Amino acid sequence: MKPFRRILTGKKILLGVCGGIAAYKIPGLLRRLIKEGAGVRVILTEGAEAFITPLTFEALCREKVFCQCDFLNPPPGCIPHTELGAFAEAILVAPATASFLASLASGDARSLLVATILASRAPVLLFPAMNTKMWEHPAVKENVKKIASWGYKVFTPEEGALACGEWGPGRLPEEEIILAHLEKTLALQDFSNCKVLITAGPTREPLDAVRFLSNRSSGRMGVALAEAAWKRGAEVILVHGPLSSSPLPLIRRIPVETAAQMAEAVLSLLPKVDILLMAAAVADYRPQDTWSGKLKKTSPSLTISLERTPDILKEVSSRRKPGQVIVGFAAEEEEFLPQEARRKLKEKGLDLIVANPIDRPETGFESATNEVFLFFADGRKIHLPLAPKEVIAWQILDAIKELQK
């Protein structure tokens, strides 16, 4: 198993900031990049300097921040646009203003930022943010179309309340979204052309109008798998029960409540997918009878009969097409983990089962970390030591990639 390395660790990122009100958010983004271990250099346009000072950025990245004055009056021996252009493994511009987009679209290299982009062959990610009427103006639309046709990624601004008091598309996306796009740009796209269906979270089996049977699954492992697969280029569909953490809004989601609804969603999508990762903690039983209103406490005791829910994976294995990879998950007491995992692997006709011990506080349900054992249909076993669920998700995908070869 390859050692895990965060995507942005050691990556050289050039951060361009233009003169829009969203510039005040960019020091926060810079901090996140530095925390991820990226090496960041910053260019501020003249407009950006009117909103925020170079000193703020310099204090965060501990590097000289380049401004327009450095272009015409460079530090001795330095050619800023070619040096920064060669430094960058990715160029990220946020906020990208209408005037910046116009200069880039016309190849006008009078600003240091545009000149640097022209002098670089690194991937370029542009996050426009401006007033809605400006964003929708044909001049801006034309410029965006032209820039996008050269392979630069121009991300549509988010809709919401704008600094000018209006409501509409024009907002800079949240840091999380910008970072996710950057990670996807820099990650090896080894799951491109691959459709991955992932289930996550618990199911809820209703008893009456206000009560249900469920379990302690948070859905974090499934969400981590969905985000990792998306960053690695997969087309991801996440079928999930109630989650305690929300996945990146960039991921296609199908929310469900019950095991029966999850079964219906999974089985209808199955013919179109290459990989199924069944990380959901599906309820095994549901109340046989349900009350339409609220169940009242009229008797001293109450017996509820439960019936089995459909076993989704068993049904999947009888319908699977050649070449599909089917992965199950199992949370087990440590003592019985190997035999239970191998039993389920066989009974459910899986290629791989990911098993984690439930009798430790730092693994499994509701925890941010996990330690798992991978059992393969060919008899192999791999141990993934305790790590954040994001790391475990990445390693599980590495193992699946090996299976696909």
Annotated catalytic residues are: 164
Chain centre to alpha carbon of residue 296: 44
* Residue of the chain from 330, 345, 393, 400 that contacts ligand CTP (CB under 6 A): 330
Q: What is the DSSP letter of 274?
A: S
In the complex with ligand CTP, which residue's Cβ is closer, 129 or 262? 262
**How many Cα neighbours within 13 Å face the side chain of 316?**
32
Of the pair 185, 309, the CB lying nearest ligand CTP is at 309
Q: How far is the CB of 252 from ligand CTP (least distance, A)?
A: 20
**What Cα–Cα distance (Å) separates residue 228 from each residue in 185, 234, 392?**
13, 9, 10
Residue 311 interacting with ligand CTP (CB under 6 A): yes
Say whether residue 282 binds ligand CTP (CB under 6 A): yes
Contact with ligand CTP (CB under 6 A) among 91, 113, 280, 352 = 280
Burial class of residue 96 in the structure, from the number of CB atoms within 10 Å of its CB (0-12 exposed, 13-18 middle, 19+ buried): buried
Candidate list 284, 290, 338, 349; residue touching ligand CTP; CB under 6 A: 284
Q: Which span sits near ligand CTP by CB under 6 A: 45-53, 111-119, 163-171, 323-331?
A: 323-331
Beta carbon nearer to ligand CTP, 44 or 223: 223
Per-residue binder mask for ligand CTP (CB under 6 A), 248-267, x = binder = -----------x--------
| Cα–Cα distance measured from residue 367 to residue 361, given in angstroms and rounded to the nearest whole number | 7
DSSP secondary structure of 4-43: P--TTTT-EEEEEE-SSGGGGGHHHHHHHHHHTT-EEEEE
**Burial class of residue 285 in the structure, from the number of CB atoms within 10 Å of its CB (0-12 exposed, 13-18 middle, 19+ buried):** middle
Binding-residue total with ligand CTP (CB under 6 A): 13
Residue 370 interacting with ligand CTP (CB under 6 A): no
* Candidate ranges 76-84, 120-128, 137-145, 276-284; the one touching ligand CTP (CB under 6 A): 276-284
* Only segment of 103-111, 222-230, 325-333, 390-398 that touches ligand CTP (CB under 6 A): 325-333
HSE-up (13 A, CA, CB side) for residue 189:
12
> What residues pair up with 17 in beta bridges, in sequence order?
44
Q: Which stretch binds ligand CTP (CB under 6 A): 20-28, 93-101, 183-191, 324-332?
A: 324-332
Pick the closest to residue 216 from 198, 238, 243 (CA basis).
Answer: 243
Q: Taking CB positions, which residue lies at the least distance from ligand CTP? A: 312
Closer by beta carbon to ligand CTP, 194 or else 355: 355
Smallest distance, Å, CB 288 to ligand CTP?
Answer: 16
Q: Are 249 and 177 in contact (CB under 8 A)?
A: yes
Given 227, 344, 351, 389, the residue binding ligand CTP (CB under 6 A):
344
> 44: which strand partners?
17
Q: Of the listed pieces 105-113, 122-130, 165-173, 322-330, which binds ligand CTP according to CB under 6 A?
A: 322-330
Between 131 and 199, whose beta carbon lies closer to ligand CTP? 199
Q: Considering only residues 71, 100, 212, 329, which one is a binding residue for ligand CTP as defined by CB under 6 A?
A: 329
Which residues, other chains included, contact 25 with Cβ-Cβ below 8 Å and sequence gap of 6+?
172, 175
Cβ 95 to ligand CTP shortest distance, Å: 42
CA angle 379, 384, 385 (to 5 degrees): 140
Residue pointed to by tokens 């459709």:
195
One-letter amino acid for residue 310 of the chain? P
Using CB under 6 A as the binding rule, whether residue 356 contacts ligand CTP is answered as no
Q: Which residues of the chain form contacts with ligand CTP (CB under 6 A)?
A: 259, 278, 280, 282, 284, 309, 311-313, 328-330, 344
